[in-house]
């Protein structure tokens, strides 16, 4: 690991602080994982239908809404590859995020999340590299199934060295943020009921976080004047200082087709709101059947 003298950037504007706290939650919820301390929730299933597809690439754009202004804040790219881990065949599911425009000049971010799975899509390892305004962190997590439990070794490094090295043990399953986005994409549409909850547990640093997606029904989403999408709408209750309210603080709209792609994500912040929009996808496993083109535009 490259080591440099750690330094802290100048104090950014308040909106930059909120955006820096909110966007990882949004994008890896995704984009829509929302980190929520919700008390006790039933354990989710550790197994899901195959969802990873070699060379799938999905791009999203992040916007920061402040009053009537909504400038573009960054771009997130998700990719999936057949690769190897510890000299064995594996899946690699990765997200790279970068700020753009004025955000890149004021509070530059270059963050990468990479998650490795077995060929059967069992979670093995998570690697999160964070560079925000000159500040650097690396979060590494190793996942080991135990009888009825999951063990997670979690390490965090800064440029000056290790910050913590601990082991978390949770009853049932626990995932990283990236794996949770796959969980969202495996929900069966034909069995959905309004207000139905889908709980999950996420390892974040030194904590195991309880969270849940809450179904709100079907909806049409139109991010621009050229296209609309048929989607399923979910709420997320969030308990985090970056969000203005805990109940229905974040929402996600997922494509109503076999790909189950997050199309839009929205989260209310203390200052403004963050919006994430689907931009494009390459090499999807299934036809993108939820898109509705608007004629005459």
Percent of residues, the chain, with pLDDT higher than 90: 44
- What is the C-alpha separation between 126 and 153, in angstroms, rounded? 10
Instruction: Specify the pairing of strand 273-282 against strand 262-268.
Output: antiparallel
pLDDT confidence of residue 16: 45
pLDDT at residue 31 in the model = 38
Q: What does the buried/exposed string (b/e) look like for 14-23 if buried means 16 or more CB atoms within 10 Å of the residue's CB? A: ebbbbbbbbb
Domain boundaries, the chain: 14-293
Q: Dump pLDDT digits (tens) for 98-144.
A: 999 888 888 889 999 999 999 988 899 999 999 988 789 999 999 99
Closest CA to 237 of 64, 29, 15: 29
> Per-residue b/e over 88-104, b at no fewer than 16 CB within 10 Å?
eebbbbbbebbbeeebe
Cβ neighbours for 68, distance < 8 A, ≥ 6 positions apart: none
pLDDT of amino acid 268: 74
The residue ranges of the chain whose pLDDT is under 70 are: 1-49, 237-249, 295-297
């Amino acid at each position: 690991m490259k080591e440099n003298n750690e330094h802290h950037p100048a104090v950014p504007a308040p909106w930059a602080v909120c955006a820096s706290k909110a966007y990882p939650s949004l994008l890896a919820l995704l984009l829509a994982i929302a980190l929520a301390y919700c008390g006790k929730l039933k354990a989710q299933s550790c197994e899901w239908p195959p969802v990873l597809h070699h060379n799938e690439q999905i791009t999203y754009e992040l916007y920061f809404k402040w009053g009537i202004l909504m400038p573009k804040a960054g771009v997130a790219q998700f990719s999936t590859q057949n690769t190897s881990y510890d000299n064995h065949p594996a899946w690699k599911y990765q997200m790279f995020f970068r700020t753009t425009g004025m955000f890149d000049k004021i509070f530059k971010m270059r963050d990468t999340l990479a998650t490795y799975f077995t060929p059967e899509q069992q979670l093995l390892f998570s690697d999160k590299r964070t560079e925000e305004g000159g500040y650097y962190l690396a979060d590494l997590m190793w996942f080991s199934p135990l009888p009825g439990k999951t063990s997670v070794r979690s390490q965090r490094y800064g440029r000056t060295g290790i910050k913590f090295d601990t082991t978390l043990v949770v009853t049932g399953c626990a995932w990283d943020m990236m794996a949770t986005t796959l969980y969202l994409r495996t929900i069966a549409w034909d069995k959905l009921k309004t207000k139905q909850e889908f709980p999950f547990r996420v390892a974040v640093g030194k904590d195991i976080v309880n969270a849940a997606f809450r179904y709100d029904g079907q909806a049409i989403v139109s991010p621009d004047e050229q296209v609309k999408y048929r989607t399923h709408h979910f709420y997320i209750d969030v308990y985090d200082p970056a969000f203005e309210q805990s109940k229905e603080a974040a929402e996600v709209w997922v494509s109503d087709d076999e790909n189950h792609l997050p199309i839009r994500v929205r989260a209310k912040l203390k200052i403004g709101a963050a919006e994430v929009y689907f931009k494009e996808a390459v090499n999807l496993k299934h036809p993108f059947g939820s898109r509705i083109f608007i004629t005459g535009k």
